[in-house]
Each structure stands twice: as structure tokens, then as C-alpha cells.
Structure 1
Amino acid sequence: MQSHSTGFVLTRQSRDIKGQTEIVLWVKTATGPYRLSIVGDKPVLFICASQQQQAMEIIHAANIAVQWKPLALKTFQHQQVVGCYSDTVRDNLTISKCLHAEGIKPFEADVRLADRFLMERFIRGGLMFTGDVKSRNGYHDVLFAKAKAADYIPDLTLVSLDIECSEKGVLYSIGMHSEMDSRVIMVGEQPADYQASDELLIEWVTDEKALLLTLESWFIKYDPDIVIGWNVIDFDFRLLLHRAEWNKINLRIGRGKQTPHYRRSTQNANQGFISVPGRVVMDGIDTLKTATYNFRSWSLEAVAQELLGEGKAIHNVHDRMAEINHMFKHDKLSLAKYNLQDCKLVTRIFKQTHLLEFAIERSRLTGVELDRIGGSVAAFTNLYMPQLHRAGYIAPNLESENWIASPGGYVMDSKPGLYDSVLVLDFKSLYPSIIRSFRIDPMGLVEGLLLEEGKAEHQAIAGFRGGQFHRTRHFLPEMIESLWAARDRAKRDGDKAFSQAIKIIMNSFYGVLGSSGCRFFDHRLASSITMRGHEIMKLTRELIEAKGYEVIYGDTDSTFVSLKKSHSQIDANIIGDALVDHINQWWQQHLQQQYGLVSALEIEYETHYHKFLMPTIRGQETGSKKRYAGLVWRGDVEQMVFKGLETVRTDWTPLAQHFQQTLYSMVFHDQNVDDYIRDYTNRTLAGEFDDQLVYRKRLRRNLDDYQKNIPPQVRAARLADEMNAKLGRPLQYQNKGAIEYIFTTSGAEPVEYRQSAIDYNHYLEKQLKPVADGILIFIGKSFDNITAPQLGLF
């Protein structure tokens, strides 16, 4: 039966079958899941026509059948190319290796077959498909499928999954939370006092094997599109598959009763990838990072506390393990509640942050997979490459060995001080607006450099470091323009997930062009963006200072303007609006007169700080960068803002952070701080703030990799794992991770195994004194002078 339908791509795979390829797309439609089978799509790579004869001999020697096609395509070096089409993915990989071994570099050999199929059809999530439809148990099979792009927003079903197990990885229970069904599958006999309820449904099973088979049945019955969790890929799924293997079962939780496949990352031994046919697995930590969230700690407890104001019942990893073991033996109902609570927290985090909506919109905009981590380079490639092909070019290869760094964003030397009335003016999406205004584009660079000298100034726009860009042959400026317009619409409609997705994609385009991991990298591209940014920031500063104000700092796209005396909010707003109008008008005229271009540059009046601190670099007189604090009115509420200072840094203790927040507020309000500083110091020495002395730092490398320099966190981690070994507990810190420790008279010691007395003088000298002197210098005081008389008593 032939059928037309519209849906959204969940998973994509390609494989070789019976001497040809098969692309399998699992698609969610309004009438359920469909499995699309596209057979016989030929993998392709491209070779310079001048090397075709040599390549033919190499491929013939490898005994591989290929088809050659002359194409109206050329490289960025203007060499004609031919297409080499093979029957299978395996043949394509073999050909690529053989050619590389003989010094021939094929182009686009690394583009995966399923990705190319979707990309070349401009399919970004949504698609319309036809084919021979056969109904299966729980889904529809579409044979000989054909597909084209369509706009479609899916309604996806979601389950949050979490497992509980022993320290040796033996499964105790599996929790699932979804709108369709929430339950805990638990190994053990049903207690006499158990009563099923909407709050807690427990399905009791006899052993671990039955637990896994029941999970399999649950997936078949409820058929979720998305599986979410916390570290769900590298812990929950990795362990589930390991225990399934141990129990000699296949764990058929994919659609069509297919089995998942887990593989380790080649770059990072601690990271893996999971493929579940027809279902998308989204890890909460990775998805939040992709959506540019940041937290002091990425534990579920810490993130849930920060976002939801609630967390888990057990915090310490060893207490938790002991408590879980105890509950499994003596109180399975409490273990089930604990298990389900973790599932619910992840569901609520996804809902609160609109993570699933964010992933869907990102996929609709760029075509990247829903579960793609990061993915900026893939997004750019998906959008740019098919347009490039239609313009007659083949994409360049990744050439990271020829990578040349480009200058970073403009950062002006700051003028340290305590100020009244500082305005912040921000260029709206500066780098994307530079790309739009100055027509910066990979193909535009290639075409611009082709122009003869006499014609270049009329047809090309000068960049930096020898770059010049064609005025009309480009794609990137239009891509940004359409994204920009879509973001403005999303903002008007209050669609935060869509707006955030667009912002991240737009702002990533510069980073991609400056990244050695992108095939379109050229230092002339990235430099023409950043160096133009430097020029814009410097000229903008001159425009502001010509009006009689003082620019005290500038950073990438933000300019900090001192009005030189205290102004009311109303007066500051009038000045800010006037400066914005003047600067935007000047840039419009300048670009028109100098380059014959329409300016997309737009500066906005962002903030008025009625009190503002620009600190010095610690121990120096030079102004610091990317660090400041200020007081600002948000409606009728006065707020303290900290940027780059100890309060917002994860490597400073809560002791220092609480001290800084109160102290700075007092200085900004012209209050006497001496008594507060002395009192806080005395209470610290008296042990009143012992719960605030904990440092929390990440181990960036494996513990054994630290040989010469042994920082405090490494010493603490080694002490912790020595104790873990003595007590027969699993080692926690060998492979990176985060450690909490306290400074004692014997040095850094882990919180859970502290044995020595606290070194309070360390906290005074290394935590309170630097924070205090950062602002006291501007009111003629110092921490030592204020505390000296008191400290003499101790």
C-alpha cells in the first residue's frame, strides 16, 4: 500500500545489506512510529579529476566495483572533481583508506550516508515520505521509501529512567516516570504492607533476569519516543546492557524489538554513545550543557536544588551506597520511593528548562540529531554544504595541521575604581552582525580572492589578513539574516526554547569558522570577524568619549561608560538612549559611505549601574578584565550583580562568597564596614562557619597523571581513595571527577575523611583577605588594618 505521511526523524542509521546500502529512518508521526527503509543509495566521495586515473588503478587493485561520474563541481582551489560512487558503505571506507595510503585525498569521504541523504534534501527534523507501507506490531514499515523536507513539530512521548544497584553493579530496581505510566520494577517479594497507589506503583519480580525482561515488556507496551536520565548513557544504559549480557538476554528495548548498541568514545574513555533504534536517549547533563547551562556542580542533587529548590534524600556517595544496600535488604518501599524520586527530578528539570523543546527546535533549524551533544560544527555543515554543492563547489577537507589562530574578542584594559553611574552598551549579536554587514562567508572568500585587482575594490569587500569577500556570492549572511528574523519572532511570541536554540546556533557560526575541527576553517575568515570587532569597539569608544563621557572598560561586544557623576535612573536612561541613537546612526552612515554596505550593526542600552566596582588584578595596580560588580535597579528591586568575582566562581568557598556579597553591598551603600569585617573574622575563627569552609574542585586529569605539581584537590583525592581502599569501598577519584575538601593544619583533606584540625588562618589569608582588599583599597582601608587588633587576641 502506497502512503503519504509527515513526521519527524528520531533516529538515523545506515548499513550494508545484500551487497547494497540501506538507510533506516525511524520517524514519529501523528499516527505513531514509522520505520523508513531507503535501499541502494550509493555512498560517494570526490577526487580531483587530475588524479582520477591514478585513483582508478588503486581501486581496481583493491578489487572494488565503482561508478565514476564527471561533475560540474570544483574544490576551493578551483580544481575540477569527479564523483566516485560505490555500492556499500564498507567499500567507500576501504576506498578512502587506500587512496589516503597512496597520497590522494578524497573529499567529503567522512560524510555519513544517512546524514548526506537528509542534508542534500534539506530535511531538518520534519519530512514527508511515501513508500510501500506494511503494518507491524506497534509500528509501520515503509519499504522503498522516498522523502523530502517538510515542516513538522512532533508530539513526543518521554520516560525518565533510573536504576538502583549494588556497588558491584547488580541491579536492585529500575524506576520509570512518564505521563503514560510510572512505576518501579523491584527485585524481591511483595511485603504484606505494600499497597499500590498512583504515587507509587511497584512491580515485584523474582530476580535480576526477570527485572530486565519486565523492563523490555514495559518498553514494548508503552513505546516511548524519548528516554531521559542523569548520566543515563554512561551509567544506567551501560550497566543495563552489561547485566543483560551477564544474564544472557538481548534486552530488546528498541522499536521493532531491536537491541541497543553502546560504544565508547575514541576520544574520551569515560564517555560513550548509545543507539536505540527508534528511540532517542537524552542525558540531562549533556543536554543542559548543549543549551549553555552551567552549574557549580553537575550532580543531580546540586542541579535539582538550584533549579527546583529540592533534591535527593541522601547526599554522600558512601552514605548513599550503604543506605541503598540497607533499604534493599530491609525497606524496599523506601528504596522504590527514592528510585522514583530521581526519575521525577529529571523529568521536572527537563520541563523547567524546556530541554526537549530546545532539542526539537535545534533539530528543526539545523538538522542535527535530537541527542547530539554540542554539534555546532555538524549544524553549520548541515546548513552550508548542500548550498555549496548547488553553487558548484565541493567542501574542503579538515586540515587541522594547518590551523592558524585568530585574535580573540576585543578586551580593553580597564580603569579600576569605585564609580557612580556606569552605563553598559551592548552590540546585539556583534559577530553575526559583522558577518551580515561585511558579507563574510567561506565561498565568498574563495570567490572574492578570484577577483582581479582592478575590479576587487568594486566587487569585493576587504577583510583582514589578506581576506576579501565577494559582494554577492555568499550564503552565510542570508542564513544569519533568516535566523535573526526567526529569533525576533520567537522573542515576540515568548517562545524561549526556540529563541535560545537560534541564539546558540547564530553565535556558534563564528566559533565554528575559527575552529580547527571545522572543514570550512580559514584564519582569514575568523580574523575578518574578530579584527573587525576590534575596529568597531575602538571606534565606538571614540564616539562615546567625544560626547564627554569616559569608557572605563570594553569586552567583546560590551562597552562600560562612566557618566563621571551620579545620575538618577531617568537621566541615565535619557543619556543611554541618546548614545545608542548616535552610535547606530554613525555606523549606518560610515558603512554606506566607506564600503557601500547596509549596516546590520546595532548597539543597545543594556544597564545602568548606579554603583559600580572595577577591581584591580589581585596584588597589582592594573585593572582586571571580565571581573566587576555593581548595583542595579530591576523595576523596584535593587540587585547586586557579580561578574567573574569570587561569588560566582565555583572554586571559592561559600565562606568567601557570603562575606563578599554583604561587604560589597555595605560599601556600595556607604556603610561603615569595620565592625562587620571584625565580627565575620571572629566568628570564622570561633568555628561558627565551619560548614562554609568546603572547597569543591574538578580533577581535570586522571589521578595518576599528576606527578610533579600536586595541587590541594589532588592531595585530598588521593587521601580519600587511600581511605576508600582501607575500608573496602570503591575508589572514587581515579578517573577525574570532583572532590570536596577542607584546609587543615596538615594541608588539604577530603571532607568525608578529615582527621586534622581546621587551619582557620588559611581561610583568613586566602579567602577573606583577598575578597575584602578587592574593594577596601578604593575607600582607603585594608583587611589587615581592620582585623589586626582583634587577631592579636587569638
Structure 2
Amino acid sequence: MASNELKGFILTRRWRDAPAGTEIEYWLATDAGPVKVVLTARTSVAFVESRHRPALDAQLAAMPGLQVRELGLKTFGQGPVVGVYAKHFRQLGQLARALQAQDIPLLEADVRPHDRYLMERFITAGVRVEGGRRDGATIVDCRLGPAPDFRPVLKVVSLDIETSRHEALYSIALDGTADRVVFMLGEPPPEPAQPDGFSLVYCPTRKDMIERLNDWFERNDPDVIVGWNVIQFDLRVLQKTADDCGTQLLMGRERRPFEWRTHPGRQGYLFAPTPGRIVIDGIDALKAAVWSFPSFSLETVSQAMLGEGKAIGNAYDKMAEIERRYQEDKPALATYNIRDCELVLRIFERAKLLQFVLERAHTTGLQADKFGGSIAAFSHHYLPRMHRLGYVAPSVGEIPSKAFPGGYVMDSKPGFYDSVVVLDYKSLYPSIIRTFLVDPVGFIEGSNTSDPTRVVQGPGGTVFSREKHCLPEIVTTLWRARDEAKRVRNEPLSQALKLLMNSFAGVLGAAECRFFNPKLVSAVTLRGHEMMKLTREFVEGRGYEAIYGDTDSIFIWLRRTRTNEEAHAIAADLARDINAWWTRTLREEQGLENFLEIEFDTHYKKFFMPTIRGSDVGSKKRYAGLSADAGGKEEMVYRGLEMARSDWTPLARQFQEGLLSRIFHGEPHQAFVAGYAQSMLAGRMDDLLVYRKRLRHRLDAYQVKVPPQARAARMADEHNDRVDRPRQYQDGGWIEYVMTLNGPEPMEARRSRIDYEHYLSKQLQPIGDAILQPMGESFAALTTAQRGLF
């Protein structure tokens, strides 16, 4: 590495229009500490079809500072374009609005300067810094290039606050550095006791708390702030507190404030861009990494992942206890406060969330704390490659939105089976894109090519160029990177690459994407349909039976009971032969290299596919099985059944699990069904009768059709009003309730007797009949005697 070369990881990015031109700022984490890179006097570019040049020139006369250049680029409609270069990025927005009034699109005018600079240089998160002028920790007008292998060691702080029930700030805890501290509102006692492991600093005013917090961030200078709901609650409350106190919240680098923004489509949802630091919410990070929990509360997640929690009970107990500790035992409140910080840090460590977030940034090209963003990630990879093939991107909405086929779901054959194996196509949609050369530019090139030998025929009359395309190469690069990540056991990187590749087909089918085209996404999904049907024919030609299939998986009944070793061997042979057939067929019939790969997934010693409730038709995406791995280790698996769904009661889930487990293991089940119903009717299972459901709208939005959870929530908040507690459910959320003889009643205000008949007929009987009827039995027949006793 040259002496004047530095490698870094992009923490934050922003742009602004300065007098000399657009200025781009990147904050980097480097091995030598944080560095700010400033690129000055940058020009911005957009494109207009050459045929609109007279209208463009008329607008430019009133907009000094814009220049037009002839370029060797064209639109997807094959029209040549000119480039419009602006001294200030906002000028492009003004020009776009002026041209829009004449129905003339200014193409790519929405690509922000700091994003375009990176994407056109194939930079994602790791950068190489060369040259420039150095001024302390700032480098001005250097050159940046990609450094994909650079991984920084980041300094992380976990932040959590405690407040009154009305969000009056009581304490601020910071953990993750050597300077572990809790700032507590109040005067210190005459003989203050210091808790073990952290400093407790008393602050006479909330203004003093905010100023000490600002000083802490300047002194400790972390790269990353983590927390739980940290932006929507903790940082929001801190900002409001600072505003109310007439002071500034300066947690960014160089003592800069948050640059608050609201989400355009989610009322009240906030973003908190922070100069020089990334803010990672644990809930968002877990969801992005495809973790799933019944609830994403810190208590639920910490219990599930760490086996321990916050040590204070429900929301009402928590608020009352926080208030008591603040008034009577501030050291205990401080301990509780910093305990939340510790739990968040341990969850991040257990789930490797920080590594996942960093690898995701390396993979997508998006800022590390930006979640979602599949469309932006696609554009980051696609635009520079498309430009090099001579095209500019279309505008969003250029093609009208239209429905397209989804993944293939085979009609199921319900019932109980022995020896079912599942084969699964590895990354089906990315492998289709790669094999059949599905691509936006390739589609345009293929549609304008008359030579049939230069195109690949796709479903629905689509054709794709064999020579000019971008997406297959992007997928290939990511695929190889994932194979390497798996080889070196970098699971966070492997997961990030998998999620990105798998998002590409969905992006092509998203109307808000500039590359949206129903024909393109259909070329992927319909090819998947064709593949699954051909796979079924292949399997059944070998004498087995396909009983179900879903998008990329096929469930194969081996016709008779097989040993575990036999089933695994048959599945491996089928996968090998199917792959060989694809390789031979694609090469001989279409001259294509095969990247389709089916692999053995699971052997179910016992398998159950239910019917759609109330019919004889087999259900879809719902099944259960007793799987066995190569070593014979067994596991009960549930997909889509009540056992796997959070909107059914624990009573129903445990009943389903117990009944299926007994049947799969050949154990008597009739006595279990009768005994379970008897115990429930006798009141011995009341703790399993609780529904936990989500209010997806504001409570006042439920007017015409009021579901049970909304009725229970209204009753709960009426009770809260009576006992002078804050309302809990006006803006949605989760509610726990039971069904009583007077309807749904919340757990915190239950008055009536439980309606056991409801649970028998609405929870247990539907599950029981779905499982028992294929065996010639019924729930009612097994439980009639018990129902007469209660």
C-alpha cells in the first residue's frame, strides 16, 4: 500500500450545495481512527433525450450554471440522450420540475451526488483514499476507490433511557466502552453509593444531563450507537428534552446535531442521520437479518436468545417500579437502566448483528444503518454497469403497473405419509437470472435483435441478448462471493449476499423501481413454474410421487416406508440426476451453461398435509413432519400450522403439537385428545387460553368491523382511565385477552367467567378434526363424554 493511501469503511455520507459547487462528505472508520473526507466543487449529471433539445435549451437560458454535452448513451427506447451537468445538485431538481410540466423526463435526476460518486466507481462500503489535502482528521479533494476487503474495528456504545410514564427524562445509560455511565436527574444523596461496574453521575437539571451527554460523546467518540427502538423512542425523547431545555443535542461528530427526517409513507416514523456515526436499532437489524420472534420487545428477544430478561414485569409494573426507584432508590434505577444497555450489546453479539450490518453495507452499497432499500441496492449495482453498455436508466413509472405471476405452488395431496423427501432449488430466482440471462438491458437488446442465434427465448415471448447484459454478471459475482463466504464460515456475509441476490427478482416486480417491468419479472417466475413442472415429471418418471411443491421446493413421496439411510440415498441420487439432466438439456437445446442446482433438503419419516378447512382440497404452505437427518436425529417441523402461528392460543398450539407427535411416533392418541379437552374444561389450562394479537391500526380506526382484539383494547384503556394509568392501545400495538361469556376481555381488566365452549369449538375442534378425519376419527366422537361433564 502506498504511503499516502488509506483504507476506510464509510460510516455516513451526505451532500450539500456550496458556493463553489456541490460538496460531498464521507465519514470513514479507519485503522488510524475516524477520518472525514470532503470532495468539493463536484458537478452533478442527469440526462434528456436529444429530441427534446429545443425545450431543454429554452429552460437553460433561465438557469445559469448548467451545461449540455453530447454523449454516446441512449434510452431503453433507443433514443440518444444529452448530458446535463449542474454546478449545484438542486438545479437538477428545478430543471426536472420545469421539464415535467412539458411531459419531458429528466432521467436519473434523483440519483444523489454522494451515491453516484460511489456507484460509478464500484465502491460499496470499503474505500481506498489516495492523495488530497490533509487538515487534521479531514482529507479534502482526494480520490476514492473500492477496498472491498477492508473490515474496520468499530467503537460501539449502547444507549438507553428511562422516563416517567409521560416521557419526562429520568436517566441516560451508556455502555460498551470503558466509560460506562448513567446520568441521573437529581441531587446526590449525602453519602452517595457508587454501583459496581459503572459510574452514577447525578445531574441537577435535564439541561445538565444533555450537556454531559454531549461531552461524553465528544470524549469517547464512538462510531456506532445501538439500542432498542433507539430512534423512535430514546433519541426522540432526548431531542425533545433538549429542545424543551433550550439547549442542543450534539451527539454527532464535531458536536453536530441529528439531521432529523420523517418517513414519507409512515406517519410519525423518524430517521436520525448522525454526522460521523451510524445508529443501529436492534429491532430493525434483527428483522433485516430475518430473525423471527412472537414479539420484538427487548424482554421477549432477550429471553429467547439469552435466557434472561429485564427483571421487571408487565408494562404497568414496569412504569410503577421505575417511578418508585426514581423516587426512592436511584442507584437501583441506574442498575436497571444500564442492564438494558447490556442486554442489547449481548443480543448484538449473540446474533452477530453488527457483523451482519457491516457485511450488508459491503454487499449493497447502502449506508450501514439503512435497512430495507432493495431497490436502492439494485440501482447501486446496476446503473454503472448499464452506463458502460451505453444506456441510461428509465424513470420510475415509465411502464404502467400490472399484475404478474408469482411463485409456482403445486396442488397438494393431503393426508399422512411415510418417507417424504424434499428437494430444493438453490437460490432459484438468482440461478434463473444467471442461466437464462434475464436482464433489463438484455431484454431491450434482445427485442431489437433480428438474429435468433444471438438471443435466449424466455417465457411469454420475451427474448434476452446473449451478449449484452448486466444482471447475470452481478449475480455471478455475488454468488461466487457467497461461496467464498461460506467456505471461510463468514455467516453474516453469506446471509447478506443471499438476501441481496434473492431480492433482485422482487425489485424487477416493484412498481416504484425504475427498472420495473412485468415481462421481466414474469420471465423469472414463469421459468420457475416451468422448472417445477419438469422436475415433477422427472421425479414421477422414476416411480415416485410429487405430493406438493412451493416456488423452489418439491415434496416427494417415496411410495413406501424407507429406512432413513435409503431415503437419504434416493434423494441424493435424484438431485444428482436432475442436475445432470438440466446441464445436458440446456446445453443441447439452447446452448446455455447451467447454473440451476437442486439439492436434498429434508427427509420426513412421517409427514402430514392437511386439507383446507371445511373441504377435501389440500392446503398450501401448511404441513407438519417428523424429520430425520443423516445421523438419524429427529425433529418435529411445523410450517403454516396453528403451532407455528402467533395468532392462535398456546392451548391450540400445544394440542396440535401433542397430537401430531403421538401420531408420528405411533403412540396412542385417543386418550390424549379426550384428556386434553377434559383438563381445559375443568379449568386446569387457564394460563394457555390467552390470545395475543396485534392492533394493526389506530384504535379509533376500528368502526364498522371491530375484531375481538380491538374490543379488548378499548376495554383495557377504559380501565386505564379509571385507575389513572396511561392508555396503552390508542396507536396500535399488541393486546392479550381471553374469551369470556361476555366476549373478549383484556388480561388487565378481566371480570367475567371464561367461555370454555369457545375454546373447545373454535380452537381445539378445528385442529383436531383436520388431523383426525383423514384417519377416520373425529374430535367430537373422542370428547363427547367430557363435554357432558362440565
How far 1:194 sits from its partner (Å)?
A: 4.7
Q: Go from structure 1 to structure 2 and tell me whether the alpha carbon gap of 1:762 and 1:270 turns closer, same or farther (over 3 Å shift).
A: farther
**Deviation digits for residues 723-750 of structure 1, max 9, x if unmatched?**
2333333332222322222111111122
Aligned to 2:82: 82
Aligned to 1:111: 111
SS at match of 2:334: helix
Query: Is 1:143 equivalent to 2:144 in the alignment?
Result: no
Aligned residue pair count: 786
Q: Go from structure 1 to structure 2 and tell me whether the alpha carbon gap of 1:333 and 1:662 turns closer, same or farther (over 3 Å shift).
A: same
Q: For 1:633, which of 607, 625, 628 is the aligned residue?
A: 628
Separation in structure 2 between the aligned mates of residue 471 and residue 677 of structure 1, nearest angstrom: 61
Q: Give runs of aligned pairs for residues 310-389 of structure 1, distance below 5 A.
A: 310-389=308-387
Give the counterpart letter for 2:18 in structure 1. Answer: I
**Deviation digits for residues 73-131 of structure 1, max 9, x if unmatched?**
11100111111122212222211112112221110111111111111111111112245
Separation in structure 2 between the aligned mates of residue 644 and residue 664 of structure 1, nearest angstrom: 14
Give the counterpart letter for 2:669 in structure 1. Answer: V
SS at match of 1:39: strand
| Partners of 2:195 and 2:335 within 8 A in 1 | no
Q: For 2:395, which of 384, 397, 400 is the aligned residue?
A: 397
Separation in structure 2 between the aligned mates of residue 235 and residue 401 of structure 1, nearest angstrom: 40
Q: Give runs of aligned pairs for residues 147-226 of structure 1, distance below 5 A.
A: 147-151=144-148, 152-191=150-189, 194-196=192-194, 198-226=196-224
**Deviation digits for residues 703-761 of structure 1, max 9, x if unmatched?**
22222211111111222222233333333222232222211111112221222221111
Separation in structure 2 between the aligned mates of residue 653 and residue 265 of structure 1, nearest angstrom: 35
Separation in structure 1 between the aligned mates of residue 379 and residue 643 of structure 2, nearest angstrom: 39
Q: Go from structure 1 to structure 2 and tell me whether the alpha carbon gap of 1:493 and 1:132 turns closer, same or farther (over 3 Å shift).
A: closer
Q: Give runs of aligned pairs for residues 243-254 of structure 1, distance below 5 A.
A: 243-254=241-252
Separation in structure 2 between the aligned mates of residue 473 and residue 438 of structure 1, nearest angstrom: 13
Percent of pairs with identical residues: 47
SS at match of 2:693: strand
How far 1:56 sits from its partner (Å)?
A: 2.2
Q: Go from structure 1 to structure 2 and tell me whether the alpha carbon gap of 1:574 and 1:327 turns closer, same or farther (over 3 Å shift).
A: same
Give the counterpart letter for 1:141 in structure 2. Answer: T
Separation in structure 2 between the aligned mates of residue 747 and residue 311 of structure 1, nearest angstrom: 33
How far 1:197 sits from its partner (Å)?
A: 5.1
Separation in structure 1 between the aligned mates of residue 732 and residue 64 of structure 2, nearest angstrom: 46
Name whichever of 468-477 and 672-681 sits farther off.
672-681
Aligned to 1:270: 268
Separation in structure 1 between the aligned mates of residue 658 and residue 392 of structure 2, nearest angstrom: 59
Q: Give runs of aligned pairs for residues 45-124 of structure 1, distance below 5 A.
A: 45-61=46-62, 63-124=63-124
Q: Go from structure 1 to structure 2 and tell me whether the alpha carbon gap of 1:491 and 1:192 turns closer, same or farther (over 3 Å shift).
A: farther
How far 1:18 sits from its partner (Å)?
A: 2.3
Separation in structure 2 between the aligned mates of residue 498 and residue 198 of structure 1, nearest angstrom: 37
Give the counterpart letter for 1:84 in structure 2. Answer: V
The two structures have a TM-score, normalised by structure 2, of 0.97
SS at match of 1:709: coil
SS at match of 2:460: coil
| Partners of 1:107 and 1:394 within 8 A in 2 | yes
**Deviation digits for residues 635-670 of structure 1, max 9, x if unmatched?**
353210001111111111111111111111001122
Query: Is 1:531 equivalent to 2:505 in the alignment?
Result: no
Query: Is 1:643 equivalent to 2:639 in the alignment?
Result: yes
Q: Go from structure 1 to structure 2 and tell me whether the alpha carbon gap of 1:712 and 1:317 turns closer, same or farther (over 3 Å shift).
A: same
Separation in structure 2 between the aligned mates of residue 286 and residue 202 of structure 1, nearest angstrom: 30
Aligned to 1:741: 737
Query: Is 1:758 equivalent to 2:751 in the alignment?
Result: no
Separation in structure 2 between the aligned mates of residue 259 and residue 511 of structure 1, nearest angstrom: 37
Q: Give runs of aligned pairs for residues 635-674 of structure 1, distance below 5 A.
A: 635-674=631-670
The two structures have a TM-score, normalised by structure 1, of 0.97
Q: Give runs of aligned pairs for residues 376-455 of structure 1, distance below 5 A.
A: 376-399=374-397, 402-452=400-450, 455=451
SS at match of 2:272: strand
How far 1:309 sits from its partner (Å)?
A: 1.4
Separation in structure 1 between the aligned mates of residue 194 and residue 491 of structure 2, nearest angstrom: 39
Give the counterpart letter for 1:146 in structure 2. Answer: R
How far 1:466 sits from its partner (Å)?
A: 2.7
Aligned to 1:507: 502
Separation in structure 1 between the aligned mates of residue 310 and residue 346 of structure 2, nearest angstrom: 13
| Partners of 1:129 and 1:145 within 8 A in 2 | yes
SS at match of 1:24: strand
| Partners of 2:399 and 2:517 within 8 A in 1 | no
How far 1:597 sits from its partner (Å)?
A: 0.8
| Partners of 1:55 and 1:104 within 8 A in 2 | no
Aligned to 2:671: 675
SS at match of 1:465: helix
Query: Is 1:559 equivalent to 2:554 in the alignment?
Result: yes
How far 1:134 sits from its partner (Å)?
A: 4.6
Separation in structure 2 between the aligned mates of residue 193 and residue 603 of structure 1, nearest angstrom: 70
Name whichever of 631-640 and 745-754 sits farther off.
631-640
Q: Go from structure 1 to structure 2 and tell me whether the alpha carbon gap of 1:227 and 1:44 turns closer, same or farther (over 3 Å shift).
A: same
Separation in structure 2 between the aligned mates of residue 463 and residue 751 of structure 1, nearest angstrom: 57
**Deviation digits for residues 38-68 of structure 1, max 9, x if unmatched?**
111112221111112112213434x443111
Q: Give runs of aligned pairs for residues 298-313 of structure 1, distance below 5 A.
A: 298-313=296-311
How far 1:132 sits from its partner (Å)?
A: 4.7
Q: Go from structure 1 to structure 2 and tell me whether the alpha carbon gap of 1:193 and 1:639 turns closer, same or farther (over 3 Å shift).
A: farther
Aligned to 1:474: 469
Separation in structure 2 between the aligned mates of residue 663 and residue 334 of structure 1, nearest angstrom: 47
SS at match of 1:275: coil
Separation in structure 1 between the aligned mates of residue 208 and residue 373 of structure 2, nearest angstrom: 38
| Partners of 2:20 and 2:41 within 8 A in 1 | no
SS at match of 2:141: strand
Q: Give runs of aligned pairs for residues 3-82 of structure 1, distance below 5 A.
A: 3-18=4-19, 20-61=21-62, 63-82=63-82
Separation in structure 1 between the aligned mates of residue 132 and residue 238 of structure 2, nearest angstrom: 36
Name whichever of 274-283 and 263-272 sits farther off.
263-272
Aligned to 1:724: 720
Name whichever of 164-173 and 52-61 sits farther off.
52-61
SS at match of 2:342: helix
Aligned to 1:782: 778
How far 1:628 sits from its partner (Å)?
A: 0.5
Aligned to 1:603: 598
| Partners of 1:194 and 1:333 within 8 A in 2 | no
How far 1:342 sits from its partner (Å)?
A: 1.0
Name whichever of 395-404 and 369-378 sits farther off.
395-404
Separation in structure 2 between the aligned mates of residue 267 and residue 222 of structure 1, nearest angstrom: 36
SS at match of 1:394: coil
How far 1:779 sits from its partner (Å)?
A: 2.0
Separation in structure 1 between the aligned mates of residue 44 and residue 234 of structure 2, nearest angstrom: 35
| Partners of 1:483 and 1:502 within 8 A in 2 | yes
Separation in structure 2 between the aligned mates of residue 443 and residue 623 of structure 1, nearest angstrom: 41
| Partners of 1:400 and 1:516 within 8 A in 2 | no
Separation in structure 2 between the aligned mates of residue 785 and residue 32 of structure 1, nearest angstrom: 73
**Deviation digits for residues 140-172 of structure 1, max 9, x if unmatched?**
011223222223111111111111011222110
**Deviation digits for residues 449-479 of structure 1, max 9, x if unmatched?**
0011xx12x1111112231100111121121
Query: Is 1:490 equivalent to 2:491 in the alignment?
Result: no
Separation in structure 2 between the aligned mates of residue 678 and residue 22 of structure 1, nearest angstrom: 74
SS at match of 2:61: helix
Separation in structure 1 between the aligned mates of residue 408 and residue 233 of structure 2, nearest angstrom: 42
